[in-house]
Amino acid sequence: MDVSVIGISPEAAEIYRYFLRCKGEGVGSVPEALGLSPDTVEAAVETLNRLSLIDISDRHRVVATEPRIGIERLVEKRLNELNAEIRRVLAARDAIAVFMEDKNEGDRAATVLDIERVEGVERVRQRIDDLAFFSYKETLCLHPGGPFSRAMIESALPLDTRSLRRGLAIKGVYHPAALDDPFMVSYLRELVSLGAEVRVTDQPMDRMLIYDRSAAVVPIDPKESAKGALLVREPGLVSQLVIYFDGVWKSATDFRDIIEPTTVEPVLSEMEQRVLAVMATADKDEIAARELDVSVRTYRRYVADLMARLGAVNRFQAALRAKEEKWI
């Protein structure tokens, strides 16, 4: 029970319940009855009185307010406060028109191509994070060369995961050299499991990112990406980059067709099939073992063997991969 949202601390709630149970008791009886310090009791009593949950006009005979009246009144007050806050937040939308006037004026005054030069790895990464955060349709990526570093993967995965869970489509094309690193392959498997589309091609391609087909990021120097990037918003140029991406995408091979070593159905025993099925539903090993009528040690041995065969790092991932491989 959490009533802190309506201004009642855990100590105040405990004291209020005490006065509801022990009618006619005074403030002085609370410290001994509840094991609280006098200062704590005094502060809580003042809060309850201010919230009109108790009447301490006679401190030797405290009267507690009927909960259906006192609590409901506080809930209604809090809801009114929240509704007022929501109205104030929504009213901020009125500022959009004013800001759009400024933007339109700037657009009319612009005389150069909408291309921004961003130098420095950290600044480029920040701009990419901003573009990904404010995108609402899709992200298109071309990644020539070898695998990402672990640091790059660890920083990219949360962003990609957030985008996919927001409903964005992600399409990425990678060079076969990227698949030489098991950590990179695991990263791409994770993206695919979340709904991303990944393809592989060995044909030459330039590194680029395109967001909502309205903004593109390309390196200043294709041979040395550390120099920085160009942020392109010019519609005509972005359209040509999208056409280029679509061409590379159509000629690339699906990532899953490359990493799946065989289409032959695995030979699983009846017990292995049952273990795979229960892994996806049982919360604890003891429950799973009991359902299978085996010891916990035997069940864990089966799980470890199946995880190794599936190349999974945890049981949840093993269950997902088993479904992907049509083992279950």
Domain ranges of the chain: 4-87, 115-259, 270-324
Task: Give the whole-angstrom CA distance, residue 196 versus residue 163.
Answer: 10
Give the tens place of pLDDT for each residue, 6-17: 999 999 999 999
Beta partners for residue 54, in sequence order: 64
The answer to whether residue 226 scores a pLDDT higher than 60 is yes
- Contact in structure between 138 and 171 (CB atoms under 8 Å): yes
Question: pLDDT at position 271, please?
Answer: 85
Q: Which CATH class is domain 270-324?
A: mainly alpha
pTM of the model as a whole: 0.49
Q: How far is CA 71 from CA 47, 51, 66, 129, in A?
A: 14, 9, 8, 45
Question: pLDDT at position 198, please?
Answer: 93
- Contact in structure between 22 and 51 (CB atoms under 8 Å): no
In a 3-state reduction of DSSP, which class is residue 263?
A: coil
The answer to whether residue 267 scores a pLDDT higher than 80 is no
Question: pLDDT at position 109, please?
Answer: 66
The beta-strand segments (E) located in the chain are 54-55, 63-64, 115-118, 138-143, 169-174, 197-200, 208-211, 215-219, 229-232, 253-254
Give the tens place of pLDDT for each residue, 175-213: 988 888 888 888 999 899 889 999 999 888 989 999 999
Question: pLDDT at position 71, please?
Answer: 92
CATH number of 4-87: 1.10.10.10
The answer to whether residue 265 scores a pLDDT higher than 60 is no
Q: Which residue has the tokens 């159509």?
A: 250
Question: pLDDT at position 113, please?
Answer: 66
The least confident of 44-58, 68-82, 112-126 is: 112-126
CA angle 58, 64, 65 (to 5 degrees): 120
CA angle 196, 320, 307 (to 5 degrees): 125
The answer to whether residue 119 scores a pLDDT higher than 90 is no
What's the chain's average pLDDT? Answer: 86
Task: Give the whole-angstrom CA distance, residue 181 versus residue 186.
Answer: 9
Could you say which of 3.40.50.720, 3.30.70.1060, 3.40.50.2000, 3.30.870.10 is the CATH number of the domain covering 115-259? Answer: 3.30.870.10
Q: Do domains 4-87 and 270-324 have the same CATH topology?
A: yes
Which pair of tokens denotes residue 133? 């955060």
The answer to whether residue 263 scores a pLDDT higher than 70 is no
Span 251-262, average pLDDT: 79
